[in-house]
Structure 1
Amino acid sequence: MRNRWGILAILFVVRLTIAFQFQSVAAVAPLLQQTFGVGLADIGILIGLYFTPGVVLALPGGAIGRRFGDKPTTIAALLLMTAGSLVMATTDVWGWQMAGRLTSGAGGVLLTVQLTKMGTDWFAGKEIATAMAIFVNSWPAGVAISLLVLPAIGTAYGAGAVFAATGTLTVIGIVLITLYQPPPGAKVGASSSGRLDLLALLAVIVAGTIWGLYNVGFAMIFSFGPSLLAERGWSIAAAGSAISVVMWLSVISVPSGGYLADRGRPFVLTIAASLVVAALLAWLTRSDAVLTILVLIGMVGGFPAGPIMSLAARVLAPETRAIGMGVFYTLFYAAMMLGPAIAGRLAKSAGTAAAALDLGALAVLACPPLMWLFERIVSVRVRHAQS
């Protein structure tokens, strides 16, 4: 297949498997608490474990992709995700649940880095914000599907069936990725220079931090939102359906944000949307107007996704793209590993999941000043290049 939008559709569905698998724990968190006799802090750790391998694998993950190629690396990653799901589906020991989660997360790391690089290869310099917005839209789509499907599966058949379902989806991803073809002229040899200049490296570090913090804020909604609503008397299925409203609306707001960014002012759009989302997250824990707030978050929260994801592409050349995406995702995974674990501890200490949502609001609030810093670094780099 050589049509870039067709390629994007394949990447979208394959990346959706990561979100579906990640959300499998949070979607049935109350069920896991009952089955294994664990608390919110343990659930937070299990959620965060999915991103733990990213701290050490994201950077070499880019090099692995350069060495072995796009398709072999993505297939290996999907096999790791499948193996992790099978472990979690077949054990009733909490320690093995954690081991399976780590194995799945390792595959998710390699897959995320490689798919992002593959998408950027096809769209760099041509509607990149729109393409990246559609690409990252696979995350809310996968989360929304899991919130609708997995609680029902878990309630009817138990936690093992939930993880078996995630493994089945990753097998489908393996079949789909065999259809991928690289763009003409995109192949970069393993011996090619992949060294980033200092300012490009700093810009990518800041971009990765922005993406990590914004996702920490968003993750608090679907990671601890169901538990927050359960505290208020909602059933597991009803809580999952309500939280999924954010994800379904994000399916619209994420590509809309990318489209607007490609045709307007992405910097202003990202900052304005981040401030609104931070305010809504803080309001969610202090109001009974749950559905109204969730609808507003879904309508606005997706706007910054495409612009933020396209930041790294502004400073990465084809030969530095794999290693640059590795750096970008190292920061992202560090934030996403620590965020849920810290949030779980705060929720346990406060005696309510609301503390996790408040942490998410603070994380999103940190994004606007970091956006300003990124723009400053890029402007300095441009001046140096012109001098």
Structure 2
Amino acid sequence: MSNRWGVLLLLFVVRLSMAFQFQSVASMSPALMAEYKVGLGEIGLLISLYLAPGLAFALPGGEIGRRFGDKRVVLFGLVLMTVGGLIMASAPSWGWQVAGRLCAGAGGVLLNVLMSKMVTDWFAGKEIATAMAIFVNSWPAGIALCLLVVPAVTAAYGISAAVLLAASLCIIGFALLAILYRAPAEGQAASARSRWPAGSVLQAIIAAGVIWGLFNAAIGMVFSFGTPMLVERGWSLASAGSATSLVLWLVTLSVPLGGYVADRTGKHVEVMLVGFVLFAIALVVAALTTATIPAFVALGLFGGLSAGSIMSLPARVLTAEVRAVGMGVFFTLFYAICVIAPIVAGVVSSRLGTAAAGFFLGAAMLVACLPCYWIFRQLAARSRF
């Protein structure tokens, strides 16, 4: 496969399996709570554990890919995701659920870091915001698909069937990547010369990673706590999952739209910052209003506008030689924030007695993205790239 758009489609489909598996816990959270006698705090922890291995493996992930090859490492990650799913499907206790989730999450880390580098290798200097917007769209698309399918599967066939469905998508992704993917020649050459970013470049990529982490954690508040919030209001599990999935389906439209507008107009910054503000307002409204469907539609329409522009930030400061390690730094910050946020939201929600608290926390994180971008801009201006 030599056409970069064909490669992008392949990577989109493979990464979708990771999003589906990540979301599966939140989508069947009421069933897990009943089966294992746990609360929202434990569910928030289990959600976060999928991202927890990123704290250890995101930074060395780029170097591992350089030594063994991006494709081989991603395939290994898909194996770990499949094994983790099998452990969770047969888990006799909550402890085994935790073990399986950690195993699957370790594989997901390798996918996230190295596949983002793969996209950058193919699109650096080209339609990077559009390409990244399409690529990251695999996350809300996979989550929306999970929200639509997993609650119904869980209700009809049980927890194990839903977990096995997620694992089967990982197997399909493994087969597609193994057969179809190849790296661009220039990306392979750059990986051989990989080195650490330094100075203002390193500081800028740290700021960019914080922005990406806060933004994703805010989106996570919707698909992690949207379903239980609606169940609290008297919705059935299937109806609550479908309503929450509406947000993610609309995000799959707003993400590429935001990236396309940013590339076509050259106003990457304006699109990103306006997206932050509109999404924050929509989260607060959705937590307060009883007009759930209109509020969730607004969440979807505004929630993805900033994604492509954020993911294009690393390309503004990372040369090919520092890209592998730089993306590891970028995703380490992303994982740190996304691990902490659901735990905090779960604890706060438990203490306040409502899952809506997660929506307010998400709005606060989006507001925090504004000063973080100002810091990134100052550091990027000092870098030599």
TM range (shorter): over 0.9
Q: Which residue of 2 aligns with 1:29?
A: 29
Aligned to 2:202: 201
Match of 1:226 in 2: 227
SS at 1:366 equivalent: helix
Tell me by how many angstroms 1:189 deviates.
Answer: 6.7
User: Who is 1:336 aligned against?
Assistant: 338
- 1:164: which partner in 2? 164
Residue-by-residue CA offset, 1:13-57 (whole Å, 9 max, x unaligned): 001011000000000111111111100000000000011000110
After TM superposition, list the pairs within 5 Å mapping 1:292-303 onto structure 2.
Answer: 292-303=294-305
Matched, 1:259 2:256: no
Between the two proteins, the alignment pairs up a number of residues equal to 383
Is 1:123 the counterpart of 2:123? The answer is yes
Q: SS in structure 1 opposite 2:288? A: coil
1:285 is paired with a residue whose SS is helix
1:158 maps to amino acid: G
Displacement of 1:263:
2.2
- 1:369 is displaced (CA, Å) by 1.4
Structure 1 distance, partners of 2:306, 2:373, is 11
Distance 2:299 2:120 in 1: 27
- Partner Cα distance (1:186, 1:161) in 2: 40
- For 1:253-332, list aligned pairs within 5 A: 253-264=254-265, 265-332=267-334
Please list the CA deviations of residues 46-105 of structure 1 after superposition, one character each: whole Å capped at 9, or x if unmatched. Answer: 000011000110001111000000111011000000000000001130000000000000
Q: 1:294 & 1:256 partners in 2: Cα distance?
A: 18
| Cα distance in 2 between the residues matched to 1:99 and 1:368 | 37
- Partners of 1:188 and 1:228 in 2: CA distance: 49
1:91 aligned residue: 91
SS class of match (2:188):
coil
CA distance in 2, matches of 1:108, 1:184: 25
Mapped to 2, the partners of 1:268 and 1:370 lie a distance apart of 15
Percent of residue pairs identical: 52
- Distance in 2 (alpha carbons) for counterparts of 1:197 and 1:285: 42
Q: Distance in 2 between matches of 1:262 and 1:357?
A: 30
**TM-score computed with the length of structure 2 as normaliser:** 0.98
Q: Which residue identity does 1:269 align to in structure 2?
A: V
Q: 1:352 maps to which residue?
A: 354
**Alpha-carbon distance between aligned partners in 2 of 1:94 and 1:304, rounded to the nearest angstrom:** 37
- Cα distance, 1:381 vs. partner? 2.1
Write the distance in 2 (CA, Å) between the matches of 1:369 and 1:61.
Answer: 29
Check conservation: 2:15, 2:139, Cα contact below 8 A.
Answer: yes
CA separation in 1, counterparts of 2:121 and 2:198?
20
Q: Which residue in the other structure is 1:62 paired with?
A: 62
CA spacing shift, 1:127–1:190, aligned 2, 3 Å: closer
Q: Comparing 229-238 with 185-194, which one deviates more in the overlay? A: 185-194
Unaligned runs of 5+ in 2: none
- Residue 297 of structure 1: how far off its partner (Å): 1.2
Pairwise CA RMSD = 1.1
Deviation at 1:197, TM superposition (A): 2.2
State the Cα deviation string for residues 88-144 of structure 1 (Å, max 9, x = none). 001130000000000000000011101000010000010000000000000010001
Deviations, residues 210-269 of structure 1 (Å, cap 9, x unaligned): 000011111000000000000000011000100111111111110110011112211111
2: distance between equivalents of 1:52 and 1:93? 20
Q: What is the Cα deviation at residue 377 of structure 1?
A: 1.0
Q: Which amino acid aligns with 2:105?
A: G
Provide the C-alpha distance between the structure 1 equivalents of 2:129 and 2:205, rounded to a whole number of angstroms.
Answer: 16
Within-5 A mapping of 1:360-375: 360-375=362-377
Please tell me whether the aligned partners of residues 77 and 106 of structure 1 are also in contact (alpha carbons under 8 angstroms). yes
Q: Could you tell me how far 1:285 is from its partner in structure 2?
A: 1.2
Task: State the match for 2:135 in structure 1.
Answer: 135
Counterparts of 1:276 and 1:300, CA distance in 2:
6
- Mean Cα displacement is larger for which, 164-173 or 313-322? 313-322
- 2:47 is matched with 47
Which stretch has the larger CA shift, 257-266 or 96-105?
257-266
| Aligned position for 1:235 | 236
In the alignment, is the contact (CA less than 8 A) between 2:191 and 2:324 conserved in 1? no
Q: 1:344 to 1:35 in 2, by over 3 A?
A: same
Q: What CA distance in whole angstroms lies between the structure 1 residues aligned with 2:11 and 2:131?
A: 11
CA 1:118/1:290 → structure 2, altered by over 3 Å: closer, same or farther? same
Question: Taking structure 1 as the reference length, what is the TM-score of the superposition?
Answer: 0.97
Contact 1:270 1:368 in 2 (8 A): no
- Contact 1:80-1:103 at 8 Å conserved across structures: yes
- SS at structure 2 position matched to 1:213: helix
Q: Is the 8 A contact 2:194 2:325 kept in 1?
A: no
Asked if 1:176 is matched to 2:171, the reply is no
For 2:380 and 2:91, the matched residues in 1 are separated by 49
Would you say the 8 A contact 1:58–1:330 is kept in 2?
Answer: yes
